[in-house]
Amino acid sequence: MSAWPIGVFASIDAGLGVKLEVAKELGVPTIQLHAPHASSRTPARAQEFLAKLKSYGITLTAVFGGFKGESYADIPTVVKTVGLVPAETRAARTKEMKEISDFAKLLGCPVVALHVGFVPHDRNDPLYKDVLAVTREVCDHCKANGQALHLETGQETAEGLLQFIGDVQRDNLFVNFDPANMILYGSGEPIAALKKVGKYVRSIHCKDGTWAKHPGKEWGCEVPLGQGDVGMYNYLHTLKEIGYTGPLTIEREIPQEPERQKAEISHAVNLLTALREKLL
């Protein structure tokens, strides 16, 4: 596959992505997939899905874990509900993440990804050690499946993420860089962050957003690609600088408006295609 194939975030029965049929209509050659519900994570469904991908000429580049009970309603709710950080659900979700890795293996996919949640920064916080432990557990399970684990950016600053990845001490732990999340969560200027974590970036999202009035306290606003504060030319230019050649996976998290979602992703495909021509 040539450098920077365009992609889109897709869903079967769970998550914020577009349906596979929409990915086909958009003519994109790659997708990242939000892991389907447990009932759909069977060998038979995997074969069905693979056959569909093949007939559409689409390559699956990553499977994203997500869990029941997660809510992105506002920043405090994300802290309480997302990823492997909340204590009440940690064991069950760690187990589920391993099952998602097994399902990704059935799909022949070498990358599993997730939002790990709001990791505390203090190394002496018992919660920090607990999250380290489960992240290692998931990394090791992925490794046995021949996979890498990618952490979605957003909740941590670049420094916080570097510290955490270093402390996990696993060679199959990398970053799925989402520049808009840095803005939405107020966790740092995305281009500077990308340069800092560049050596770990193995997959990315193309998403845009505008800063909140009080970054980190309230949400920024997700907007169509090219209309926010990321700066798409600068973003792609920096990806080139760090040597990133993987897919450009478009994410537009408005599944409640499928027509608009498809139209805006189509526009994003055109924008990225033009920028790619200019930069590569």
Binding site for Mg ion (CB under 5 A): 178, 205, 251
Least distance between Mg ion and beta carbon 250 (Å): 10
Question: For residues 251 and 264, which CB has a smaller minimum distance to Mg ion in the complex?
Answer: 251
Question: For residues 46 and 272, which CB has a smaller minimum distance to Mg ion in the complex?
Answer: 272
Least distance between Mg ion and beta carbon 38 (Å): 23
Least distance between Mg ion and beta carbon 246 (Å): 14
Q: Kind and range of the H or E element at 248? A: strand 248-250
Least distance between Mg ion and beta carbon 106 (Å): 24
Question: For residues 89 and 176, which CB has a smaller minimum distance to Mg ion in the complex?
Answer: 176
Look up tokens 């996979």; give the residue: 147
What are the contacts of 163-170 at 24+ separation with CB within 8 A?
163/121, 163/123, 164/119, 164/132, 164/135, 165/200, 167/123, 167/132, 168/132, 168/135, 168/136, 168/139, 169/136, 170/135, 170/136, 170/139, 170/140, 170/143
Whole-angstrom Cα distance, residue 245 to residue 4? 5
Asked whether 156 and 200 are in contact (CB, 8 A), the reply is: no
Look up tokens 């990791």; give the residue: 119
Question: For residues 106 and 180, which CB has a smaller minimum distance to Mg ion in the complex?
Answer: 180
DSSP state of 69: T
Q: Which residue is at the shortest CB distance from Mg ion? A: 178
What residue type is 174 in one-letter code? Answer: F
For 266, how many CA atoms within 13 A lie in the half-sphere containing its CB? Answer: 11
Least distance between Mg ion and beta carbon 17 (Å): 10
Whole-angstrom Cα distance, residue 175 to residue 152? 6
Alpha carbon 110 to its chain centroid, in Å, reads: 14
Q: Is the dihedral of CA 9, 14, 18, 21 positive or negative?
A: positive
Least distance between Mg ion and beta carbon 205 (Å): 4
Question: For residues 128 and 179, which CB has a smaller minimum distance to Mg ion in the complex?
Answer: 179
Least distance between Mg ion and beta carbon 176 (Å): 7
Question: For residues 41 and 205, which CB has a smaller minimum distance to Mg ion in the complex?
Answer: 205
Question: For residues 156 and 251, which CB has a smaller minimum distance to Mg ion in the complex?
Answer: 251
